[in-house]
Chain A
Amino acid sequence: MATLATLKGLGRELRHNRVALGGFAITSFVLVAIVIGPSFSPYDPTLMDFTAILQPPSWAHPFGTNSFGIDVLTRVLYGARNSFMISFAGVSLGAIVGTLIGMTSAYMGKLFDAVAMRLVDLLFAFPIFVLALMLMLILGFGVQNVIVAIALVYIPNFARMARNTTMVVKSEPYVQAAQVMGQPRLRIMVREILPNIAAPLFVQFTVGLAFAIIIEAGLSFIGLGVQPPTPSLGVMMADGKDYFHRGPWVLTLTGLALMFAILGLNLLGDGLRDLLDPRLRRRSAA
């Protein structure tokens, strides 16, 4: 498998790219923290403690406590887990649908291509939060619909990228060979084309994941996304803004944690892009 070899080569090069390495380290740390972190916390993310309301950051509560006396760091870990899963689901959905549209568009050409790409252009012309907001109006607020909104934002990105890369790959000799051998279209698209356009799509996925977390936070922050009591970083920041003057740490430290996670994903995306860009690779070799 060509992809497996590429991934192994990527792993080797990753060690020599400081940006990618830093991004990989931060992202791994964040993932470990949100997966096993909550079980290590001595606090309960829902249990109210009215003897410890709005305590500023201390050794006992590194991120302080909120207006219900709940440890903010514990809630951040739980909330980040939700935020991450929501954006992962949303970007995955967008990537699958978008890639499917883009590949089909490039491979079929003609009318399908023309219609699909005009629709993609149209989606591209809407400010992201406006698109998401209108969608929430039809579907109602809540976790599933934030996922759909994120997917809708990302479908055009993936469709365009998949279409452009498929256009390049489909004239390669191995694709033509498969065509001459009479392989069915679907098989060619999945077995020959997809593995060869996967790398740039993967970079887009990493960076997309980062911005999707911001979209979720933004929608939930203005009250159009995830609804309390479900913890998400956006919901927690919205809560923190209500008593921002009395306890600014709830909003600021939650946001700082979110920024750290997004920074890791962005660095990882940047590093991978450099590694996968053949023009840059040649340059560093020279």
Chain B
Amino acid sequence: MGFLWYLTIRIGGALATIAAGSFLIFLIMHLAPGDPALAVLGESATTETIAAYRAEHGLDEPVLVQFVIWAKMVLQGDLGKSIALAGKFPISDLLVTRLPNTIFIGLYGLVIALVISLIAGTAAALRQGKLVDTVATGVAVLGISMPDFWFSYVLILFFALSLDWFPSYGFTPPGESLIGAFHSGFLPALAIAAPMAGVFARILRASLVETARREYVTAARSYGFAAPFVFIHYVFRNAIIPFVTVLGLQVRYLLGGVVIIERVFGIAGMGSLIVDGAFARDYPVVQACALTFLAIVLSVNLIVDIVCALLDPRRTR
């Protein structure tokens, strides 16, 4: 049926997953201990005001009905109000200021990881078994063996406290100053990038080595094509597909890392918001953040699927 049909199925699947996922999130938050009415109204609330609040917000309805009410509000862009954080602001206001910071750090880290892994993975595959390969694969294993939050403290120790090249704490939002954001975001982005670069480089190397053994590559060489031409058009082009697939799978680890790194560097993003929300037992905030994270993972996976389909048209058949 071709590309459009494939696209429709994929988008449909992503929408179904986010619907199911939002129900799961809602259910988990519903199971969490504590009465939301009591949390909003405070300890001084009387039985009558609590009952009135519960009736007004549909808290006495069955779970499914409550979910539908919440889902309708979310679809209209209303994520509810924070109970404990930031003076009971609407959560959508919080997300508007915080999401760009997280996306900036995430993309910054992803780009650093891509640059490192493309160079290291390709070099290792081209010089298989040589010193470059040994060093690159060794460093890659070290990269996936360290917790990113620990690595961020090592970076702080060297590049912030000793050399004073970068700030050890705080982040200038990209909206304020783009240069400031690149500068203050470098260490956190590098910390997130390190384990990812390890994973990416390993996959790319394995995929390049595997592809270089294929018969069509041997055939291309036997035609007398120049080695760089064969590498770019026959080996790299085909080897990049599993690489892109893994990239998509890594988003859930990437965002996991962001949650902790943001707290280490004091970045006002989604990660620190969900953790603060968890400590304050601010369920509406945690719920909204979890939904946003889910939406990010699914959109990235959708983009990855589309890129893969464009790289390899066989997938859409």
Contact = CB atoms under 8 A, between A and B. Distances in A.
Q: 4 closest pairs, A vs B, by CB?
A: A255-B150, A127-B255, A129-B256, A263-B145
Interface residues of B, number: 48
A133 B33 contact: no
Contacts of A45: none
Contacts of A214: 147
B25 interface: yes
A5 interface: no
A126 B256 CA distance: 9
A118 interface: yes
B28 interface: yes
Interface in A218-259: 218, 221-224, 237, 241, 244-245, 248, 251-252, 255, 258-259
A86 interface: no
B260 interface: yes
Contacts of B24: 122
Interface in A121-155: 121-122, 124-130, 133-138
Contacts of B289: 130
Contacts of B144: 266
Nearest to B198: A266
Given A130-B290, A133-B275, A255 B259 contact: no
Interface residues of A, number: 39
Contacts, number: 126
A230 to B, nearest CB: 19
Given A137-B29, A248-B153, 9 more contacts: A122-B24, A125-B298, A127-B252, A130-B256, A224-B278, A259-B142, A259-B150, A262-B145, A263-B141
Interface of A: 118, 121-122, 124-130, 133-138, 210, 214, 217-218, 221-224, 237, 241, 244-245, 248, 251-252, 255, 258-259, 262-263, 266-267, 270
B297 to A, nearest CB: 5
A67 B211 CA distance: 54
28 contacts: A122-B20, A125-B294, A126-B252, A126-B294, A127-B252, A127-B297, A128-B252, A129-B256, A129-B260, A130-B290, A130-B293, A133-B259, A133-B278, A133-B286, A137-B32, A137-B278, A137-B281, A138-B28, A218-B256, A221-B149, A241-B153, A245-B161, A251-B153, A255-B146, A255-B147, A258-B150, A259-B150, A266-B141
